[in-house]
Chain A
Amino acid sequence: MKYQTVIAGVGGQGVLFAAKVFTEMARHKKLPVLGSQTFGMAQRGGSVMTHLKIGTFDSPLVCEGDADLLLGLDCTEAHRTLPYLRSRQNGKGAMCVVNTPSVHAFPDGRVADLLAEMGVTIHACNADAMALKMNNPQVANLVLLGFGSSREHFPFSYQEVRDATEALSGKAHRTANLDALERGRSL
């Protein structure tokens, strides 16, 4: 398996936790992982991006045009990160799972056309609204993961995401986190 993921969001949204779920799943499957994270100033509400490469790689960074999956915790940040997505390869397109307040995640005509041309499958949901409904806005990242992992062609199964989340969650948050995944799946 060689799989390149970009997770985009805003400092404080839980980009790091979402990335941890991926690395935990890879670790569990004994797959080599390389990744790169944002720390420091940007964690104070700036644009935050994590690169994750599962399989045999040397470089920790994903090149623009190479990502198989874009997980957008924030719609604006997802836009910014779209250039990382790859075009269709061997008939398989990349995947974009995005949290969006509106029905159309990428309403811009030119962007939408390009995405279609590149064969990118878009799965959009309003994870924030769901998290707010749960009275726990912090779990939007997990709602989105639950949503994404229950779609076809996601690199890991919902169960794998669930197991990894369970393993990584502290006692205080475990139930809420798993509930968020479940709510995401139902979207």
Chain B
Amino acid sequence: MDMKTADHRILLGNEAISRGLVEAGCQFMTAYPGTPSSEILPAVVEFRKELGLDLYAEWSTNEKVALETALAAAYSGKRAAVAMKQVGLNVAADPALSSAYIGVVGGLVLIVADDPGLHSSQTEQDSRLFALFSKLPALDPASPQEAKDMVALAFELSERHQIPVLLRPTVRVCHSEQSIECKAVAAPFRPADFEKNPRRWAATPRARMALHQQLNQKLAAIEKEFETWPGNHAFFPAGTTQQRAPLGIVAAGVCYAYLKDQLASLGLADRLPLLKIATAYPLPRKLVGDFAGRCERLIVFEETDAAVELQVRLPIPVWGRLTGHIPSHGELTPGVIEKLLVSAAREAGLAANERPANRMQEAVAGMELPVRRPTFCPGCGHRSTFYSLRRAFPEAIFPGDIGCYTLGLNQGSVDTVHDMGASISMASGFFHAYAQDGKSPPIFATIGDGTFYHSGAAGLENAVYNGARFVLLVLDNGTTGMTGMQPTPEFGKTADGHAGGIVHLETLIRGCGISYLEHADPHDLATFQRKLLDALDHTRAENGGIAVVLARYACVTQLKGLGPDKTALPVEIHHGPHPRTPGTASALDAEWMPRHQDQLSPCAEACPAGNDIERLMTLAAADNWTDAASLIYAEHPFPSSLGRVCPHPCESKCNRGAYDDALSINAIERMAGDRGRSAATFATRGPASGKTVAIVGGGPSGLAAAYHLARLGHGVEIYEALPEIGGMLRWAITEYRLPANVLQRELEVFDALGIQLHTGVRLGRDMAWSELDRYDAVYLATGAWAQRRLKIAGEDLAGVHSGLDYLYQVRTGQAPELGARVAIVGGGNTAIDAARTARRKGAAVDVYYDVLLAIAEEIGTARDEGIIFHHATVPVGFEPGATGRLRLLLHDLAVPKPEAGKNSPVFSTGSSEADSILVCIGGDADLSYLEAQDLAVKGRLAVDAWGRTRQPRIFAGGDASSTGAGTVVGAINGGKRAAQAIHERLSGKTLDAPSLQLAAGPGIATAIAYGKATACPSPRASQAAAVPDAQAIKLQFFRKTPRTELRHRAPNDSIWNFDEVNFGLGSAEAAAEARERCFHCGVCTRCDICVNVCPSAAIKQVDGAYQIDAGKCTACRICAAECPRSAISMPQTGVCIACGYCTTWFECPSLVKGADGLVNIDRRTCIDCGMCIQVCAQGAIRAQEAGPMEIRT
């Protein structure tokens, strides 16, 4: 080589091939990228630009279409080339075999790069054997220069014999660099000139037989040419010319290059004849035979299999893979070849200078260096995708595919990698295989955009057609990442810049018959996981099917950073002293370890009646209404009543409310009362204490106190002024909300408990205060029945009534006629009850109110029943109207009183008329019975939170007391509290108030006071109990499910009678509501998610409880972070504790574990994607300058 004058460039083998192509006048090139062939087409495009050639180049969507496309160009007389990797040839096998028969007009070089040693491939297949099989001539270059030179020869051969020629470089040729001599373009370009010849181009089987015959003739002629092919030489060292050499070496392809250097260093170059073979098929048998004639035996070195060796028929021994002299797998590197040569030479009786053992190799092996496996680039969206998959679906089957995302293996969410596109077909296969057994494990297939265009659609179309169900994630980073950022059809950008069309992924996916196609961004792990769960739901829905999730994010390597839609979020890892047990090197102190520790659900905390609502939901979900009722009876005897009239603060606090709709707890309580056993069959009187308690007032507060005191063994007597007990439940709450028979059933428990009832006895009227002296304790719960005054003019006019009195009169059949038009004053529950009652009596009803305080559902029903509400409009006076009616002077509160009228007694903005007016603004307590007792402050009985008055023997609660009741459930709360305080006094035990309290909520758990004697001991109560809020719930684990609507009687039907309007839920509906919608906030449901997510398999379930193996637990806190309902207690340390979770499971190369196990950020590679923040459950990885951490427990 004269390197001084020629244009020499240092080119990669693939670039040398490209140069060979353009110099040989190749006009048309197609390719599909794949290591080690990917650089050929881009280099062709570069040379095309450099030389100003009219050369068409395309990235085809797969190897089959690449070959077919190029074949048409060759049919038209042009020189064409196709490039692919060895496994790509499998995809192109069909056109390849036919192309041998049919042949070409213009030369066609099929470049197939093999990968001995599997640097980046699935198989070590030898494409020269494919050439044998398909009867295509195959060339095997030894170096980049030879590969380049071969291209021109291959075109000529191809055109001479009208057959495609396979050029097979191996990885060490493709990716070797060499000084290459570059020349000008030698061959002229030709116009397309397709000559019709159906007998050839569309040959039928009969015609194909003739073509096969011709093919055999062509191969015979080609073999003859190969005998003198410039790349085939025999070298006979001077010392071997006289006699037969003991060993002759046949070297094909790159092995020749290795041997040339190796023979010299082993001192064998002048002793062993060497035959270089560049034409692997058909083998020039005469050349080999002549060479063999001068050797006693041969050894064949070739990559990757035994293509040459198989074709050799000789009378002397031929050593190679077939004889076991050469290993049948793995790359023949110079080191391997050296060893094989030495042992072969020795076997042949020759001495060879063996290289001394490489002691450094042993020394380094002894260091056990960490294996550096390939991983996703820092910031790559694939990492989050696969991480999320593993976290959310640890038990799913994950068929994977081929591309960068094969590395999802590292995250444990790629289970199969077979061939391009197989993820989809295999997902389909897994589905049907399990479906056959009636099983449906979650299946998540993953495929990249490039691979989907390559061969995904065919599998998807098949899966849809055959009714498979699985989730397919198409990971769209807009490029073919692994092979070097080749464009995909998504953007219409072509290899050589010619105008292309766009194939939208969405269109293609939908075109395969997919109706469920959602986009998701894995950078937000929780939302992403939620979308995956939605997709999984679709695969299981009645009308569901395959769900496709399109995860679209830019390739960070292509962009050299985060995509434009992402904000850099620099992170820092906090190190510092962390809570280890003193004196131990590894163990964290027990309080920092995970503990399955139930918390208190917010619903239960909110319930004034102290219901164990979470547990109630568990029993309801199991359709176990008997135990559900018993659970409630441990706290109070009124589930049927409260299930109808309670304003349900529990539902307001339901964490589900922040997600879709609050759980229908009230209706479930009702179902427990209606469907379960009655309280009378549950509650029993406790062992007699010998103490007596008088309860004054048989309303809900008095009854709740009586219920518990009797169960605690005290002798209870109730004094009730009205003819029957029940209080507001009976007299004020209307029949159509709480039917009398329902209440009656609940009141039976008081007889069952042996409580003495004195009805029709009013304290102060029918009995003197002094008569209470004989009781050990007295509970005053006399209510607030006296109508509060409006303090406006006309309040005492005929036709103005107390709403509460009216409701009582309706119940007792003594109600006055109200006329055709009734006005209600007030916005509380009594106002609504009065309004709806008047409506049922046939009146048109208007409600005037300042603020609406009534239960929202009841207001809605009232509106439906035709009642008119006048918002923020209050009466300022009543006066006789024109036609015998009453006139209401009204003040619209939105209109301010004019300055001038400030002192004027009446300012009105309008008026209205009514036949009657019902005033429902709350009652006052009538405490005239107190006589001289100094127990009242501001008209109410002054009490503490436990109903204790200033007299130790006297207790009070309900509406008559200073704590007030307001609602039935509030009254029950007061009764329960007073019962505990009275019991404390009577039993001499100290009231352990904090132990009864439900965190910071109003309710108390009286069940605890009964100890083991109760059916449902409740360990949930404690002032210190933690209450998980909505942020503590992992919403991604829960499906959005709408609240089951309660059924109501239609308004048109309901306003004509007093029948119950609200039917509640059916028992199956109530059970389903509890089963499918309750989060069970803070309470372990044995869902096993902790077991599945634990990276060190430290958690197992034993006898219905979880055990944590302290030896395995790394304290990574993933179990606590992933518990859907926050039932695992484990405080965050806020510092790196060397658990290794992030480096093992998230495996970002920018998170580097030091020798001490602590993790640091490798600032060299970190691109500030910030995703690792979401990964560290200990909270050690935080955004820079994020401020102090909010510790979660």
Contacts and interface: CB of A to CB of B under 8 A. Distances in A.
B841 interface: no
A58 B120 contact: no
A75 to B, nearest CB: 10
Interface string B401-424: 000101100000000000000000
Interface in A1-41: 10-12, 19, 23-24, 26-27, 30, 32-41
A27 to B, nearest CB: 5
Given A44-B404, A57-B261, A83 B361 contact: yes
A167 interface: no
Contact of B4 (A12, A30, A76): A30
B912 to A, nearest CB: 77
A90 to B, nearest CB: 16
Contact of B360 (A33, A111, A138): A111
B38 interface: yes
Nearest to B357: A65
B261 A111 contact: no
A19 B261 CA distance: 22
Given A35-B177, A58-B260, A44 B374 contact: yes
B260 A131 contact: no
B87 to A, nearest CB: 13
Contacts of B8: 27, 30
Interface string A110-131: 1100110010000000001001
A30 B119 contact: no
B483 interface: yes
A44 B358 contact: no
Interface stretch (B363-371, B645-653, B864-872, B881-889): B363-371
Nearest to B407: A44
Nearest to A85: B360
Contact of A36 (B10, B175, B372, B1165): B175
B179 A82 contact: no
Interface-centre pick from B177, B367, B483 (highest chain A CB count, 10 A): B177
Interface string B1137-1151: 000000000000100
Contacts of B175: 36-39
A61 B333 contact: yes
B1149 A45 contact: yes
A115 B360 CA distance: 8
A32 B3 contact: yes
B355 A10 contact: no
A36 B172 contact: yes
Contacts of B1163: 132, 137
B257 interface: yes
Contacts of B366: 110
B367 A39 contact: no
A140 interface: yes
A24 B4 CA distance: 16
A85 B483 CA distance: 31
A79 B4 contact: no
B176 A34 contact: yes
Nearest to B338: A63
A32 B144 CA distance: 13
Interface-centre pick from B358, B361, B366, B404 (highest chain A CB count, 10 A): B358
Contact of B178 (A60, A63, A110): A60
Contact of A44 (B38, B355, B375): B375
Given A39-B175, A64-B358, A128-B1164, A11 B369 contact: no
A177 B220 CA distance: 58
Contact of B376 (A39, A44, A61): A44
Contacts of B256: 58
Contacts of B355: 65
A104 interface: no
B373 interface: yes
A26 B3 CA distance: 12
A33 B16 CA distance: 14
A83 B335 CA distance: 12
Contacts of B257: 58-60
B189 to A, nearest CB: 31
B1067 to A, nearest CB: 57
Given A37-B12, A58-B261, A79-B369, A114 B360 contact: yes
B374 A27 contact: no
B36 interface: yes
Nearest to A52: B177
Nearest to A118: B360
A60 B1164 contact: no
Nearest to A61: B334
A174 interface: no
Given A23-B177, A39-B120, A57-B261, A10 B338 contact: no
Interface string B1155-1180: 00000000111000000000000000
Contacts of A30: 3-4, 8
B482 interface: yes
Given A12-B377, A63-B334, A111-B360, A40 B10 contact: no
A45 B358 contact: no
A27 B172 contact: no
Contacts of A63: 261-262, 265, 334-335, 338
B938 interface: no
A23 B363 contact: no
A60 B172 contact: yes
Given A40-B482, A80-B369, A59 B262 contact: yes
B4 to A, nearest CB: 7
B346 interface: no
A47 B1149 CA distance: 13
B691 interface: no
- When A and B form their complex, which 4 residue pairs have the shortest distance between CB atoms, in order from nearest? A40-B120, A40-B35, A137-B1164, A60-B176
11 contacts: A12-B1165, A33-B179, A40-B120, A41-B407, A42-B120, A52-B177, A59-B257, A61-B334, A111-B364, A114-B359, A137-B1163
Interface of B: 1, 3-4, 8-10, 12, 35-36, 38-39, 119-120, 142-143, 172, 175-179, 254, 256-258, 260-262, 265, 333-335, 338, 355, 358-361, 363-364, 366-367, 369-370, 372-377, 404, 406-407, 482-484, 557, 1149, 1163-1165
Given A35-B177, A58-B257, 14 more contacts: A30-B3, A30-B4, A30-B8, A33-B10, A34-B177, A37-B176, A40-B119, A41-B482, A44-B482, A46-B374, A58-B142, A63-B262, A76-B369, A132-B1164
